[in-house]
Structure 1
Amino acid sequence: MSSTPDILCIGSVLWDVIGRSASHMRQGSDVPGRITRLPGGVAMNIAMTLTRFGLTPGLLSAVGQDPNGHELVDACERLGCITEYLYRSEDLPTDMYMAVEGANGLIAAIADAHSLEQSGARILAPLIDGPLGSAENPWTGPVALDGNLTLGLLEEIVRLPAFAAADLRIAPASPGKAERLTPFLRAGRGVLYVNLEEAGLLCMQSIDNSSDAASALVARGASRALVTDGGKPASDATSEGVISECPPEVLVTRVTGAGDTFMAAHIAAELRGADRASALHEALAAAATYVSGDVTS
């Protein structure tokens, strides 16, 4: 499909292989459940949610020329995403993510995003000197960026003229990659979307609630920070202050992708003109609906 994107989603686009069981699990558990393979990755999860709000996202990522890659691109297009700007490597395999979830939440996960990391700045070519923008005529729309990119590439993005006019929205991808967002703290660029654990890692301290965590991120240099904390209140902080709201109470049937859904719904709400409080409310409602299983992946 070919059209102008409403938003660019930059980062991991891969296959999610998720095993889910209704049983409480621990290390070594062997239980019945369901195993699914769906398009995933942080950038793709955000993009899929954006399409549900009527937006057309363009994907910038690395996808192999292997059978998994061809299937993935076809699936992304069927879901309403623009794939023509993807870097299609002939040498690198399509990335994958594998997770196991039980009734007590995420048990374990492995993200194999090596091809994305090895592709480096090649995934940004359409934006740096191509059909989406250049240093002289930079992209001026929203960009959803994820921390599966290497620290070096994220540091480069902060400095690149091609990103100077973009509305940057950034997620760390996982607690293990939270510190990759440090360049955006130092530069005071973008809106950070993190959970409480990730906020604590970025602030290098243990923090008990989302309001304090969001405020601490702004104190450390973030221009704006949204912090979630599962079923506890989420917060949105800027230099003007903090707002918080508790998410709706729902029965949790899945957790993988919940943070990406929150971020996408928040972006979509603000693109429609919602104020801070309304956008936070809509994002929490969308995430609650997702974890309850009422929206298909």
Structure 2
Amino acid sequence: MLKRITEYWLCVGGANVDVQGVTSARLLSGTSNPGHVQQAAGGVARNVAENLGWLGEEVQLFALVGEDADGEWLRQVTAKSGVATHGMVRIAGQSTGKYVAIRDLDGGLYTAVADMEVNEAWTDELVQHALERLPQAAGLFLDANLPETAIGAFVEEANKRGKMVMVDPVSVKKAEKWRPFLQGVHVLIASMDEVEALAGQSLSSIRDVEACANRLLEQGLHQLVVNCGEAGLYLCRQKESIWVAAPPVPIREAACDAFAAGIIYAQRLTPLLQEQAAYGLALAELSQHQTGRYDLHALAERKEFFVAAVNKG
């Protein structure tokens, strides 16, 4: 029987309000489109923390919000999953981060605007406040919504203490922030586009993905998980790599953060790449069909399904 994790996960990064506008017919540019608008809690670090919380894990989230109604709403929504939100700091004079997306009726992203200025308000004092929670943490998750100076401080201290550092680049634009810090990263979970930005080269084939991944490992990265869309998933570390077929339902948007949470959740449960991938896929799938606390029995069943599929392939 696996021993249950007693330490908490420390998640640091973005927490914002997501506003999604989806058209009810084919989108026409330059004019008003009928459709519906939804608001949800977002931010990669917040979403990962919430998913770990719904898994029953102990989680502490450190993120910056504004002194506004959106910030208080985010704190309340996040706390429902059991995540400790004392680290969601209100920044005077700032607005809570907001991501506004416009989508076609099939869900495809047409355009988006991210107003995340509040994330630049990290100070040395705020970083040190979060680092005080690191000694008792099972591991540290960071997203790229943090300033580079903050990223460097978190990675350096985590390495000194021998803590796992798990990373999501967030976007193509922000992926480059991680170039100086690969030496200290245990697991990097990214899309193929983000890996292209991080490596500074385009990837047009499976061989390109593998070669690029090897170069990132040579720079000190311990393990890489790449979502290659229809081509599947590629997981690798020194002297070991696997390809996993793409799931029937593509991993998109918030499901990407659930996938990352599944990979993180698996770190203390299994060293096997195929099982880590299966946990990620299973959680991404479950996240698209339910809200609230996860059924761990259902998670285990879907994990075993994906493990069998990987082994069969």
Report the TM-score range of the alignment, normalised by the length of the smaller protein: 0.7 to 0.9
What's the TM-score, normalizing by structure 2? 0.81
Contact 2:213 2:236 in 1 (8 A): yes
Is structure 2 residue 156 aligned with structure 1 residue 153?
no
Question: Can you list the C-alpha shifts for 1:136-166, whole angstroms capped at 9, x where unaligned?
Answer: xx34421110001112222233333686322
What's the TM-score, normalizing by structure 1? 0.85
Given candidates 35, 42, 45, the residue that maps to 2:44 is 42
Contact 2:22 2:102 in 1 (8 A): yes
Map 1:26-41 → 2, pairs under 5 A: 27-28=29-30, 30-41=32-43
Is structure 2 residue 182 aligned with structure 1 residue 182?
no
Counterpart in the other structure of 1:227 = 226
Report the number of matched residues: 283
Contact 1:51 1:80 in 2 (8 A): yes
Is structure 2 residue 275 aligned with structure 1 residue 278?
yes
Give the drift of 1:190: 2.6
Map 1:250-261 → 2, pairs under 5 A: 250=249, 255-261=252-258
Is structure 2 residue 199 aligned with structure 1 residue 197?
no
Give the drift of 1:42: 0.6
Instruction: Quickly say closer, same or farther: Cα 1:49–1:243, change in 2 above 3 A.
Output: same
For the residues of structure 2 that align with 1:69 and 1:35, how far apart are their CA atoms?
20
Contact 2:87 2:130 in 1 (8 A): no
Gap regions ≥5 residues in structure 2: 1-5, 293-313
Counterpart in the other structure of 1:105 = 108
Give the drift of 1:9: 1.1
Counterpart in the other structure of 2:79 = 77
Matched residue SS, 1:222: coil
Structure in which a larger fraction of residues adopt helix: 2
Contact 2:103 2:111 in 1 (8 A): yes
Question: Can you list the C-alpha shifts for 1:168-216, whole angstroms capped at 9, x where unaligned?
Answer: 101111111010111222x243311111011111111111334444333
Amino acid at match of 1:200: E
Is structure 2 residue 47 aligned with structure 1 residue 51?
no
Given candidates 275, 284, 294, the residue that maps to 2:289 is 294
For the residues of structure 2 that align with 1:255 and 1:241, how far apart are their CA atoms?
27
Counterpart in the other structure of 1:114 = 117
Amino acid at match of 1:126: H
Contact 1:178 1:202 in 2 (8 A): yes
Matched residue SS, 1:83: strand
Seq. identity, %:
27
Instruction: Quickly say closer, same or farther: Cα 1:54–1:21, change in 2 above 3 A.
Output: farther
Gap regions ≥5 residues in structure 1: none
Instruction: Quickly say closer, same or farther: Cα 1:276–1:294, change in 2 above 3 A.
Output: same
Counterpart in the other structure of 2:94 = 92
Amino acid at match of 2:142: L
Matched residue SS, 1:271: coil
Matched residue SS, 2:155: helix
Give the drift of 1:74: 1.4
For the residues of structure 2 that align with 1:22 and 1:217, how far apart are their CA atoms?
42
Counterpart in the other structure of 1:245 = 244
Contact 2:127 2:150 in 1 (8 A): no
For the residues of structure 1 that align with 2:118 and 2:10, how far apart are their CA atoms?
20
For the residues of structure 1 that align with 2:89 and 2:223, how far apart are their CA atoms?
31
Give the drift of 1:93: 2.0
Give the drift of 1:268: 1.1
Amino acid at match of 1:190: H
Amino acid at match of 1:118: A
Amino acid at match of 1:263: A
For the residues of structure 2 that align with 1:188 and 1:67, how far apart are their CA atoms?
37
